[in-house]
Amino acid sequence: MDCLFCKIIARHIPSSIVYEDGFVFAFRDTKPEAPVHVVIVPKKHIVSLDKLEESDSEIMGKVVFAASKIAQQENIAKDGYRLVANCGGNAGQSVWHIHFHLLGGRKFSWPAG
């Protein structure tokens, strides 16, 4: 197991767990870009968005639903939040396990910041 996020899910690397169910694992980012910055991953190892298969549709729905629940739990749903997925090196993906960044707690501009 060389995947950083698989090691975090397996608790071989400590993390600040925010949410967990049978399909989804979420933890606080160690280098937050916002007051609330949670990384949300499927427990199933999927390399990136472009490697999804049709059979992954259900688990990806569970990931997005978990993001909504975590936004409520973190008190950022009312004011708004971002759910970001980077796909590929040029987009900034640095861990090759599909993941989403849930960001909130401040006002954002578009496209960056």
Backbone angles phi, psi at 6, to 5 degrees: -65, -35
User: CATH top-level class for 4-104?
Assistant: alpha beta
CA distance 34 to 23: 25
The CB-side HSE value for 102 (13 A sphere, CA atoms) comes to 27
| Catalytic residue (choose from 37, 97, 99, 101) | 99
Active site residue 99: yes
Note down pLDDT in tens along the chain; length 113 residues.
Answer: 699 999 999 999 999 999 999 999 999 999 999 999 999 999 999 999 999 999 999 999 999 999 999 999 999 999 999 999 999 888 889 999 999 999 999 999 887 65
Q: Considering the entire predicted model, what is its pTM?
A: 0.93
The domain segmentation of the chain, as residue ranges, is: 4-104
